[in-house]
Structure 1
Amino acid sequence: MTETTQAVPPSENSHPVVLRVEGLDVDIRTPFGTVRAVSSAGFVARAGQTLALLGESGCGKSMTAKAIAGLLDPVAHVAGGSMQLEGKELAGMGAKQRRKIAGAELGIVFQDALTALNPVYPVGVQIGESFRIHRGLSAADARKEAIALMERVGIPRPESRVDSYPHQFSGGMRQRILIATAVALSPRLLIADEPTTALDVTVQAQIMDLLRRLREEEDMAVVLITHDLAVVAEEADTVCVMYAGNVVESGAVEEVFANPRHPYTKGLLESVPTDAERGATLSSIPGSPPELKNIPPGCVYQDRCPLAQEICRAERPALRETGPGRAAACHFSELLDSRIPLQETKS
């Protein structure tokens, strides 16, 4: 098998690459020394499609997104690798250049709209700010653009709400306002970091429908960060499964979910109680992800994996091709069978 840092389904090649990440390393300074939060991550995001970064909390999804957006905390830094946005290298890009592409070429939707929005300015001012900074519009013209955007993302009576403050909106409406701010200048790449957190199921569906519609209308590439398997199955075209800062599997969503080639992916899918009966034992992955300062040598998943053997403790598996447009980082990916529960695979 051929070693690779990313997996791109051949069927998706008609869509131009907007974002290409290769060998991304992110380090964090801690009281215990420097730890690696993201290790050799690689993937592509294509115009008009959604790439999902999937995994448990703490697996490196948001850290990867922050590195791409240039929003890493002062204690973190990109230690290696490449991040190209339509050919522009983001790694090492200065603050002035970052400000030029922020909003205009790269937008981001955070999970907590109330924190992301400024509480002391009306939402119309915040949405219109991009037009004033990047396009030199007057305050009056920027306000008109803000009203049009609010209407586009489904804010009722935008003319009467444009001067309202964030706390005067519901959680779902605040998220729509944040999305309007992110897509105001029609960026080529939109990063959505857990965009439906703390919203009820109905509102979650509405927000995801909105993101899908905007992606199609603007032909944007969307990087969706989530731990929700149902959202990935419904919304994403391709998926990168992350664990302990590493991409452990990637490929087209329908293929990865139908026939996972990494034990972690298979364990996540088996944890979904699709056919559970009252009183039956639910499947789960034992243990928890390792702390960054205690990442084991060899496979990062070895302590929780029922397939782990001596080679897994001695040698870290590379992300290798497992089929057309598919890749997995497992020494024993060929032993996995989607029809057999993971607990029975080893035997």
Structure 2
Amino acid sequence: MTAALSVEGLKVDLHTPGGVLRAVDDVSFTVQKGRTTALLGESGCGKSLTAQSIVGLLDPVAEVTGGAVYVDGTDVLALDRAGRREIAGPKLAIVFQDALTAMNPVQPVGRQLAEPFRIHKGLSRRAARAEAIELMARVGIPEPAARYRAYPHQFSGGMRQRLLIAMAVALGPDVLLADEPTTALDVTVQAQIMRLLRDLQTERDMAVVLITHDLALVAEHADDVAVMYAGNVVETGPTRTVFDHPRHPYTKGLLDSVPEHARRDEPLPAIGGSPPELSAIPTGCVFQARCPLAADRCVEERPELAPVGDGWASACHFSEELSHA
């Protein structure tokens, strides 16, 4: 079965005054239609850069230097600017974490929602307006016709996020990337936003990439997970399998850090140390400085992402030993 999204060996470099830094290193994962794959990891691990590379929205200082990204069998990294514009919306879309900065603050939200229908479908102004109002109603905006001419700042954070999702799914994309879509929202609104995404995914059979550091969000909403650390994917597989039996020390450390049995006046569990700077990524295993299983082999040889089960892979020399821990 052809994946809706297939990322193969993606590499992204950052050009800085101090030199070129590898921020995303040989990242690979796939997402099937109708399924959700979560990119999970600490802040700065390369999740958002990966998403921006896929949709072609990298900052000028960043550059894709290797790999391929296939959407419906087409390598989007090989497309020119016109080709990118053609697939943006109908094939591939993204939802950002900050709706207020992602939307045009000086243009009514209805006009922003109507624009894709006019550009990609050639609808008249009136027909595009009707489509936009219908879409606003679908994502739960009350009195959409009356609020068509309202500006982004006149909506609450949760309503703005709904509008941003509406803009992303307007043309029924095959693949939707959701980059921290519930950041800064209260838990009730978070649940509403994730329920909306799930409903839209089911209706349109979309493949969704959920980018987050929230373990609970992944456990509840993701079918599969790709755990990232220091620009590398260190474990991938079905979410339930990976969470129940992690085969990489970093994944295990993240899961052990959840304060399920925390007690007052006792320290919270955590992974010791901090991720390496991009200018000081070790030649061996990227997690070696914080890993309780690190040995000489980890310093000398970087482990490859190798199968440890059905649709399950880990980049650790001691993944087998970890399964018995």
**Superposition TM-score tier, normalisation by shorter sequence:** over 0.9
Distance in 2 (alpha carbons) for counterparts of 1:17 and 1:332: 30
For 2:66 and 2:209, how far apart are their aligned partners in 1? 21
In the alignment, does 2:225 pair up with 1:239? Answer: yes
Are 1:130 and 2:88 an aligned pair? no
2:73 matches 1:87: yes
Q: Structure 1 residue 186 and structure 2 residue 172: aligned? A: yes
Offset from partner CA, 1:144-181 (integer Å, 9 cap, x none) = 11110000001111111111000000000000000000
Write out the 4+ residue segments of structure 1 that deviate beyond 3 Å after TM superposition: none
Give the counterpart letter for 2:308 in structure 1.
Answer: T
The answer for the alignment partner of 2:137 in structure 1 is 151
Question: What is the letter of the counterpart of residue 220 of structure 2?
Answer: E
Question: 1:229 aligned to 2:208?
Answer: no
Which whole-Å CA distance do the structure 1 matches of 2:310 and 2:173 have between them? Answer: 30
The residue identity in structure 1 corresponding to 2:207 is: A
For residues 41 and 111 of structure 2, what CA distance do their matches in structure 1 show? 36
Higher relative contact order (CA 8 A, sep 6+): 1
Q: Distance in 2 between matches of 1:129 and 1:334?
A: 53
Q: Deviations over 1:14-65 (max 9, x none)?
A: xx51011111111111111111111111010111010000000000100000
Deviation (angstroms), 1:324: 1.3
CA-CA distance at 1:280 after TM superposition: 2.4
Instruction: Establish whether residue 45 from structure 1 lines up as the match of residue 36 from structure 2.
Output: no
| Alignment partners' CA distance in 1, 2:189 and 2:238 | 27
SS of structure 2 residue aligned to 1:91: helix
Q: 2:196 aligns with which of 197, 210, 235?
A: 210
Letter in 2 for 1:303: A
What secondary structure sits across from 1:199 in the alignment?
Answer: coil
Q: How does 1:1-347 map to 2 (within 5 A)?
A: 16-337=2-323, 340=325
Give the SS at the match of 1:29: strand
> One-letter code of the match for 2:311?
G
| Number of residues of Structure 1 aligned to a counterpart in Structure 2 | 325
| 1:65-100 deviation per Cα after TM superposition (whole angstroms, max 9, x unaligned) | 011000111111111111100111112321111011
Amino acid corresponding to residue 83 of structure 1 in structure 2: V
Distance between the aligned counterparts of 1:165 and 1:141, measured in 2?
21
Per the TM alignment, residue 337 of structure 1 is displaced from its structure 2 partner at its CA by 4.1
Structure 2: any 5+ residue segments left out of the alignment?
none
Cα offset, 1:281, TM superposition: 2.3
Shift of 1:244: 0.4
Cα distance in 1 for residues equivalent to 2:167 and 2:270: 39
Q: Distance in 1 between matches of 2:197 and 2:302?
A: 37
CA distance in 2, matches of 1:242, 1:119: 34
Unpaired runs of at least 5, structure 1? 1-12, 341-347
Instruction: Quote the RMSD (CA, aligned, Å).
Output: 1.0
Distance in 1 between the 2:256 and 2:32 partners? 29
Identity %: 64
Q: Distance in 1 between matches of 2:274 and 2:124?
A: 53
Q: TM-score, normalised by structure 2?
A: 0.98
Q: 2-side partners of 1:45 and 1:308: how far apart?
A: 32
Secondary structure of the structure 2 residue equivalent to 1:84: strand
Q: Could you tell me how far 1:293 is from its partner in structure 2? A: 0.9
The TM-score, its normalising length taken from structure 1, stands at 0.92
Q: Report the 3-state secondary structure (helix = DSSP H, G, I; strand = E; otherwise coil) of the residue aligned with 1:261.
A: coil
> How far 1:279 moved relative to its partner?
2.1
